[in-house]
């Protein structure tokens, strides 16, 4: 399909914001409530899903059914719906359910929009602290308690001065974890546990790198759009597109991306 017109872009941002508001209400209804139950999607390890995850995605699906029934959907909890427009909404109703269950405000709602080739628009929304990072078509913003402002990624600096984030020190396979540790040994500061909020910090110019493995498409489409609109780069560990998830390297700029890629590339 051709790129959306300026008017359609504005409409798409409006629809994404409506979804984010609906998901805020759904997630905050359950957050930090006693006794919230969690089922595990996996038998071998704890991969939690809660009533809040399902309520959040259902709230977003209701907006799309009303406002954009022509678009396809790929959601974490309720799967895929085909569309006719050539656009697909990629939804993670709570990215960081472990943090959500723990009461830590580092989880978020991810709303991404892609076509067949690339991420077009993304929202990273943190309902509890009221921050929303949005990006698409070369424009990125942060809206929150301190107001609304454009955001840009950090400028060039040596790898030895970089700040690196990952959700967990247990990064993927043994070989992937070894490559991550090699990179962590080269940077100034490594921190863990921020889930999607770490990608927002790249876009906002606070940190330089996020490195992860084993992601799904709904984990990364929205962050790609926000970071790219803010001037950054997101690829896999070989420098290829990362729209499908897997191994992901998010970087503030081309120089720090190239330096990190040199350490990570070639992992079997």
User: In this predicted structure, what is the pLDDT of residue 104?
Assistant: 94
pLDDT exceeds cutoff 60 at 110: yes
Q: How many residues does the chain have?
A: 268
Q: How confident is the model at residue 268 (pLDDT cuts 50, 70, 90)?
A: confident
pTM of the model: 0.95
pLDDT exceeds cutoff 80 at 95: yes
User: In this predicted structure, what is the pLDDT of residue 42?
Assistant: 57
Q: Name the phi and psi angles at 30, rounded to 5.
A: -105, -20
Q: Taking residues 33-57, report their average pLDDT.
A: 77
pLDDT exceeds cutoff 80 at 6: yes
pLDDT exceeds cutoff 60 at 53: yes
Which contacts of 11-14 are long-range, i.e. CB under 8 A and separated by 24 or more positions?
12/87, 12/113, 12/120, 12/121, 12/136, 13/121, 13/134, 13/136
pLDDT exceeds cutoff 90 at 36: no
pLDDT exceeds cutoff 70 at 43: no
Which contacts of 126-129 are long-range, i.e. CB under 8 A and separated by 24 or more positions?
126/197, 126/200, 127/23, 127/24, 127/27, 127/28, 127/31, 128/28, 128/31, 129/105
User: In this predicted structure, what is the pLDDT of residue 258?
Assistant: 98
Give the whole-angstrom CA distance, residue 254 versus residue 231.
Answer: 9
The 10s digit of each residue's pLDDT in 196-205 is 999 999 999 9
Higher per-residue pLDDT: 1 or 207: 207
Q: Which residues, other chains included, contact 233 with Cβ-Cβ below 8 Å and sequence gap of 6+? A: 227, 250, 251, 253, 254, 257
Percent of the chain surpassing pLDDT 90: 88
Give the chain's domains with CATH numbers: 6-150 (3.30.540.10), 159-264 (3.40.190.80)
Q: How confident is the model at residue 20 (pLDDT cuts 50, 70, 90)?
A: very high
| Contact assessment for residue 75 and residue 112, using Cβ atoms and an 8 Å cutoff | no
Short-list 253, 261, 259, 145, CA closest to 205:
253
In the predicted model, what is the mean pLDDT of the chain? 94
User: In this predicted structure, what is the pLDDT of residue 169?
Assistant: 84
pLDDT exceeds cutoff 80 at 254: yes
| Straight-line distance from the first to the last Cα atom of the chain, in angstroms, rounded to the nearest whole number | 36
The 10s digit of each residue's pLDDT in 178-226 is 999 999 999 999 999 899 999 999 999 999 999 999 999 999 999 999 9
Percent of the chain surpassing pLDDT 70: 96
| Contact assessment for residue 232 and residue 204, using Cβ atoms and an 8 Å cutoff | no
Tokens at residue 37, please?
């139950």
pLDDT exceeds cutoff 60 at 44: no
């Amino acid at each position: 399909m051709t790129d959306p017109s300026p008017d359609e872009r504005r409409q798409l941002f409006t629809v994404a914001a409506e979804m984010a508001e609906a998901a805020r209400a759904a997630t905050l209804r359950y957050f930090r409530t006693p006794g919230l139950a969690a089922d595990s999607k996996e038998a071998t390890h704890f991969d939690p899903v809660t009533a809040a995850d399902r309520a959040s995605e259902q709230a977003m699906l209701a907006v799309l059914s009303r406002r954009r029934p022509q678009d396809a959907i790929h959601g974490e909890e309720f799967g895929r719906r085909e569309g006719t427009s050539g656009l697909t909404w990629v939804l993670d109703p709570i990215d960081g359910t472990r943090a959500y269950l723990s009461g830590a405000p580092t989880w978020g709602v991810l709303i991404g929009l892609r076509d067949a080739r690339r991420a077009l628009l993304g929202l990273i929304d943190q309902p509890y602290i009221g921050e929303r990072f949005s990006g698409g078509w070369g424009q990125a913003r942060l809206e929150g308690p301190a107001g609304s402002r454009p955001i840009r990624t950090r400028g060039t600096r040596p790898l030895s001065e970089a700040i690196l984030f990952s959700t967990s020190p247990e990064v993927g396979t043994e070989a992937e974890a070894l490559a991550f540790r090699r990179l962590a040994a080269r940077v100034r500061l490594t921190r863990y546990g921020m889930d999607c909020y770490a990608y927002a910090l790249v876009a906002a110019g606070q940190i330089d790198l996020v490195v992860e493995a084993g992601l799904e498409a709904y984990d990364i489409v929205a962050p790609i759009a926000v970071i790219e609109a803010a001037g950054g780069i997101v690829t896999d560990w070989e420098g290829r597109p990362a729209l499908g998830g897997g191994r992901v390297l998010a970087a503030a700029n081309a120089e720090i991306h190239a330096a990190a890629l040199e350490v990570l590339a070639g992992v079997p």
